[in-house]
Structure 1
Amino acid sequence: MVDSLISPDYIFETSWEVCNKVGGIYTVLSTRAKTLQDSHKDKVIFIGPDFWIGKDNPLFIELDYLYKPWKLHAETNENLSVRIGRWNIIGEPIVILVDFTSFFSMKNEIYTEAWNHFQVDSLHAYGDYDEASMFSYASGKVVESFYKYNLNRKDRVVYQAHEWMTGLGALYLQTAVPEIATIFTTHATSIGRSIAGNLKPLYDYLFAYNGDQMAQELNMESKHSIEKQTAHHVDCFTTVSDITNKECKELLDKEAEVVLKNGFEDDFVPKGKSFLAKRKKARAKMLNVANKLLGTNLDDDTLLVCTSGRYEFKNKGIDVFIESLNRLNNDINLKKNVVAFINVPAGTPIPRKDLVERLNNGNGITDSLEFPYITHWLDSMSDDRVLNMIKYLGIRNSKDDKVKIIFVPCYLDENDGVFDLSYYDLLLGYDLSVYPSYYEPWGYTPLESIAFHVPTVTTDLTGFGLWIQSIRTQHGLEDGVKVIHRSDNNYIEVADAIKESIISFSNKSEEEIEHIRHRAAVTAEHALWKHFIKYYYKAYDIALRNAKKRQLKSEILIK
């Protein structure tokens, strides 16, 4: 840490994904926790929603003795219901889980206060807006109570709020406890994601879009409003990549003070013999599932390729990935068999009984199952976009096809009923991954891939891809990462570039592939939190200095 930077004594971080594994922000927070614990031992406190009241949360270890007097005070005198413990991750930081349900009866008064102080428009709220906002407000009240009971003005305190879902609490603290320095981090602008998700060209016309106008057009006014007002009023506004910062500047009319690049810890990557054993197990499992589903006898020489992430069909590039595989299947230059897995959770998948039966009992199977391109049944198969594109392109997964596509529409959490391995344990077994995103503020999936020695293909419309291009030692797939140029209008070129990348990789010798896998892991080491944590220290410094100026200005006005 640079000595001239002001460091906080206490750091509070709040997110919908604290002890709640639903997206990429969970990875940001959970992998960074150990680094902050090392520098601010037990002075880093995460705040999340308590969805597990009366149930066992495997990610949360409740400890009644932590801050017991304050907890009793908060519950007795301030009607705040919290549970305190530790996050069950490396570093085991302190966590406060908040029951925010009691605030729903006050939401109109809360929204009125937010409008009067900060012009936050909650009038057009719908969907998850109320739930997120009540959690956010409750989190602000909890930190206010904690500060007034346990700390004082001599303590330098930072409150970092992640995404629009936590903006209301940060704004509340601006007035309720002005001594606390506030940071707001947007991981993706709500309106930018909406523009891209509604198939509108985001990048060619970004300079011309008006965020407020687009929010009205796309019925995003309330989410956009809380995000924009929080960005403008906190002590330090941050985002996660340069590409998202361009969105912030154009759509929120506010440029970030600091770009907080997303790092990771490699503690969860197996080493040595354990790595080799787990990789062998993963490959055997995937090939067995493929062979039982397809009625084939694919061996270990088969190229295993994957994509994964949230089910955002265009934004995550799932559409162009399927297109590239269809083209790959018809390319005479492909000499190897390829099995491509699409690991994207969808709806409420149910393990296929016919597949499970074959996995348990089947030997010498030579015929494929019906629908030989999905491992779990979905509630509405006819409405699924992956399955519909497979059908539209005429992909049959026949035995003569060099390329087979298998859709895995479930969370890989060791309990899916087919693979029964975690996502990371399966990731070890792949030869190559492809993440051709159209909209991706950062991109943890390709970073995780190379950390597990799996080379990856991504695009320059991702924060990760742009960061890779900034590393001078990076020379394409030879160094573990191929970054493809992507724009609003080059869908076919991207599909062909993916196809050519897979063909090129499939023709590599074992020695060349081992070198590429090694270089992938070396490239990943540049993104360890020990390198990226400095951006957080800079944000803390800016927030603390601006909070001090804000307090002095307020005191002068009062006098």
Structure 2
Amino acid sequence: MQFPAPTPETVAPNALLLEIAWEVCNQVGGIYTVIRSKVPATVDVWADRYCLLGPYFPQQAQVEFEPLSDTQLAAAYHDPVARAVRQLRQQGVEVHYGHWLVTGKPRVVLISPFQAYNQLGQIKADLWNHHHIPSQEHDDLLHQVTAFGHLATRFIQLFEAEATTAGHRIIAHFHEWMTGTAIPALRHQQTTAKLVFTTHATLLGRYLAMNDPNFYDHLLYVDWEREAKHFNIETAVKMERAAAHGSHVFTTVSELTVRECIYLLDRIPDAVLPNGLNIERFVALHEFQNLHQLYKSKIHEFVMAHFFQSYSFDLDKTIYFFTSGRYEYHNKGFDLTLEACARLNYRIQQSGLEGQVVLFMITKRPYHSINAEVLQSRAMLDEVQDTCKAIEQQVGEKLFYQAASSTDYQLPNLTSLVDDYWKLRYRRALQSWKTSRLPPVITHNLVDDANDDILGFVRRANLVNNRHDRVKIVYHPDFVSTTSPLFGMEYGQFVRGCHLGIFPSYYEPWGYTPLECVARGVPAVTSDLSGFGDYVQQHVPDHEQKGIFVVRRKERSFDEAAEELTDMLWRFVMLNRRERIAQRNQVESASGQFDWHQLRQYYDRAYELALERE
């Protein structure tokens, strides 16, 4: 659905928007991406009527937060936010006011939850007496959440009073249960602010999906209170339910989670707010293709270091698949991805098709260190490369001199142009590097190698990077970053260098990983059990032609879904280079409809709905 582009005058005139999230200036999960990426599009419309509120953690804030000086704060006399900050400081609360150093530079208020720890006893008593929310001891996250909710309530009350005096209405938009504890408290105190609450994934739903392979079939019969106690998350679940029921407008991020909210939170969402990204469009169509080539060459370097010490293959006929995300083996579809790749390996072997596939599995797991053999192989390849460059320079200089001085038009024997020193160094480097061992599947030494599900599968399937395997596996249990000695590039650059992202999730309320692929012009596989995949099916016609593939997992067996994914991967492998380039062009051209400037309008309609409600 397309909406007319709003302007600052048409969206909730005279209203001030306060957006509250645990991930403001605090990168801990996927909500950080939602909030941060949405800021520029929100600022474009709400301008100085927009402010964010979050917890203050010094280590994170010092990188992304720029505080206002006391002089600047004092000068902002007509700013309701600044006036509320000054009042809260006068009450003895440490509160920080400034700008978030992201595109759009929005105003931000940060409050440390720890300063309210001495009041936790009374805060917990109020939660129980007024809202029947129990407390848990020895859970520091719950203590932080409870304390922050209390301080956020106090700030919003002051902000509300200042804004009302100035003739403004207040919209307070809370994300997830960690900030939602302020909602029941504000309603108890009869706030005039309009409260919007968004659950990005119900807390209980995530736990159930990880532990029940038939989660969707059993959802109708879940006893939420019993299950919350079983998983020891009763307090957090009741906080989430109180926020959902106390808000004027209750929202979620996809049609898939609507059903989850109905059965686990007992309230039908008023609106669905799909997530977007800042889609970086390029003036020249060839520019993102050039970026693909640039970062693919860096992946080539890793692949040579990882595999070529044991055996080599043609990199021009190698396709790079990857999957990434939080380590939830079943929920994130890692199990389905591996099963499909094992079947693809057999299918390519039987077909006699030329070429290789390398599957990168990028996730985060506890590890001791990077595998010493992997590091050494990378270092030895660098030595080989340096030696080759030295030989290249020497041969080039001597060849140029001979060409200029010789009357013989024949090309000389190039080996004779290399000094014995470099010949010996070249031979020793190769002898030290080459090995008969198989390339390792995993790049790091895990803390619990024996019980890792990914390693368990590749061992059972014997998908252990044999020479005859046509699908190779590289399991990288850490984030890809520029500081990594193995890749040496950012995650977004790594994505651009790959050919296909695979994310056939079983439980995924939205799913940013395939959207990040699309934003970078890289084809992606998602599933109809992810919010993104469900959205694509409803709103993107001919999505397969645009390089967005949706595996059907609703009411289908694991085997059926695995076979469909295998077919998708097989068809992709069969594409020639020209067809893959054309497909990336299609993906890039379709990415604009996922830009926040399009999808943010769902948020603005939710805000208008909140203002209409008593």
Rounded to whole Å, the distance in 2 between the matches of 1:408 and 1:504 is 26
Which amino acid in 2 is paired with 1:510?
Answer: R
Query: How far does the alpha carbon of each residue in 1:151-198 deviate from its partner, in whole angstroms, 9 at most, with x for none?
Result: 636211111111111111222232446121111100001111111011
Rounded to whole Å, the distance in 2 between the matches of 1:452 and 1:8 is 38
Which residue is equivalent to 1:226? Answer: 239
Equivalent pair of 2:358/2:474 in contact (CA under 8 Å): yes
Equivalent pair of 2:196/2:248 in contact (CA under 8 Å): yes
Listed as ranges, the matches of 1:43-442 within 5 Å are: 43-52=49-58, 57-64=62-69, 67-68=73-74, 70=83, 73-74=86-87, 76-122=89-135, 126=139, 128-148=141-161, 152=165, 154-176=167-189, 178-267=191-280, 275-294=288-307, 295=309, 296-298=311-313, 299-331=315-347, 332-333=350-351, 335-348=354-367, 350-362=369-381, 363=384, 364=430, 365-367=433-435, 372-442=440-510
Rounded to whole Å, the distance in 2 between the matches of 1:206 and 1:221 is 18
Q: Root-mean-square deviation (CA), in Å?
A: 2.6
Which residue is equivalent to 2:511? Answer: 443
Listed as ranges, the matches of 1:16-27 within 5 Å are: 16-27=22-33
TM-score (norm 2): 0.83
Equivalent pair of 1:442/1:464 in contact (CA under 8 Å): yes
Task: Report the alpha carbon displacement of residue 207 of structure 1 after superposing the two structures with TM.
Answer: 2.0
Say if 1:368 and 1:545 are closer, same or farther in 2 by CA, change over 3 A: farther
Say if 1:119 and 1:4 are closer, same or farther in 2 by CA, change over 3 A: farther
Equivalent pair of 1:351/1:377 in contact (CA under 8 Å): yes
SS in 2 for 1:526: helix
Which residue is equivalent to 1:529? Answer: 596
Rounded to whole Å, the distance in 1 between the matches of 2:337 and 2:140 is 31
Rounded to whole Å, the distance in 1 between the matches of 2:192 and 2:484 is 47
Say if 1:152 and 1:301 are closer, same or farther in 2 by CA, change over 3 A: farther
Rounded to whole Å, the distance in 2 between the matches of 1:455 and 1:389 is 26
Rounded to whole Å, the distance in 1 between the matches of 2:541 and 2:443 is 40
SS in 2 for 1:350: strand
Task: Report the alpha carbon displacement of residue 458 of structure 1 after superposing the two structures with TM.
Answer: 1.2
Equivalent pair of 1:241/1:442 in contact (CA under 8 Å): yes
SS in 2 for 1:394: coil
Which amino acid in 1 is paired with 2:153?
Answer: G
Query: How far does the alpha carbon of each residue in 1:200-257 deviate from its partner, in whole angstroms, 9 at most, with x for none?
Result: 5211122222322332333321121111111011111110000001100111110111
Which residue is equivalent to 1:542? Answer: 609
Which amino acid in 1 is paired with 2:32?
Answer: Y
Equivalent pair of 2:123/2:146 in contact (CA under 8 Å): no
Equivalent pair of 1:293/1:368 in contact (CA under 8 Å): no
Listed as ranges, the matches of 1:507-526 within 5 Å are: 507-526=574-593
Within the alignment, does 1:454 sit opposite 2:522 as a pair? Answer: yes
Rounded to whole Å, the distance in 1 between the matches of 2:31 and 2:190 is 26
Rounded to whole Å, the distance in 2 between the matches of 1:63 and 1:455 is 43
Equivalent pair of 2:360/2:474 in contact (CA under 8 Å): yes
Which residue is equivalent to 2:48? Answer: 42
Equivalent pair of 2:317/2:354 in contact (CA under 8 Å): no
Equivalent pair of 1:70/1:150 in contact (CA under 8 Å): no
Equivalent pair of 1:107/1:134 in contact (CA under 8 Å): yes
Task: Report the alpha carbon displacement of residue 57 of structure 1 after superposing the two structures with TM.
Answer: 3.3
Rounded to whole Å, the distance in 1 between the matches of 2:129 and 2:374 is 59
Task: Report the alpha carbon displacement of residue 342 of structure 1 after superposing the two structures with TM.
Answer: 0.7
Say if 1:269 and 1:20 are closer, same or farther in 2 by CA, change over 3 A: farther
**Identity, % of aligned positions:** 29
Task: Report the alpha carbon displacement of residue 370 of structure 1 after superposing the two structures with TM.
Answer: 6.9
Which amino acid in 2 is paired with 1:61?
Answer: E
Larger radius of gyration between Structure 1 and Structure 2: 2
Say if 1:321 and 1:171 are closer, same or farther in 2 by CA, change over 3 A: same
Which amino acid in 2 is paired with 1:302?
Answer: T
Query: How far does the alpha carbon of each residue in 1:351-403 deviate from its partner, in whole angstroms, 9 at most, with x for none?
Result: 33433333233234443767711223333323332222222322211222111
Rounded to whole Å, the distance in 2 between the matches of 1:319 and 1:291 is 27
Task: Report the alpha carbon displacement of residue 275 of structure 1 after superposing the two structures with TM.
Answer: 3.1
Range with greater deviation from structure 2 (242-251 or 367-376) = 367-376
Rounded to whole Å, the distance in 2 between the matches of 1:374 and 1:123 is 39
Query: How far does the alpha carbon of each residue in 1:486-515 deviate from its partner, in whole angstroms, 9 at most, with x for none?
Result: 146511222222222111111112232222
